[in-house]
Amino acid sequence: MALDTSEITIYEEDDPDTDEVDESTQVKERLSPRIIIPLDILFQSKIIDKEGSIDLSNQDNFNLYIKDYY
């Protein structure tokens, strides 16, 4: 787990067709400070990869599915 207290700034990509303007200096998005928690492969395979499945289609199905993991 990592605590990142700095703001993350994402800049635009420079358009090579516009010589007079450097878009790479323009801010595209600012992300707030955050806690970064790396997720292991088990979480990926058991939850994320099940997106759209019947197991995650509603709260009751999810509760039944996840019951085996906690």
Identify whether residues 58 and 29 lie together within a single domain.
Answer: no
Q: 52: how many CB neighbours lie within 10 A of its CB?
A: 8
Q: Look up tokens 């990926």; give the residue.
A: 44
Identify whether residues 45 and 32 lie together within a single domain.
Answer: no
Identify whether residues 27 and 3 lie together within a single domain.
Answer: yes
Identify whether residues 1 and 30 lie together within a single domain.
Answer: yes
Query: Residue 70 pLDDT > 80, yes or no?
Result: no
Query: Which pLDDT tens digit goes with each residue over 10-68?
Result: 999 998 888 888 989 999 999 988 887 887 887 888 888 888 999 889 999 989 988 87
pTM above 0.85, yes or no: no
Quote the number of domains for the chain: 2
Answer yes or no: are the C-beta atoms of 38 and 47 closer than 8 Å. Answer: no
Give dist(CA 45, CA 61) in Å, integer: 17
Identify whether residues 19 and 51 lie together within a single domain.
Answer: no
Give dist(CA 10, CA 26) in Å, integer: 9
Structural tokens at position 18: 């516009």
Could you list the residue range(s) of the whole structural domain that residue 8 is in? Answer: 1-37
Identify whether residues 24 and 52 lie together within a single domain.
Answer: no
Q: Give the pLDDT confidence score for residue 54 in this predicted structure.
A: 92
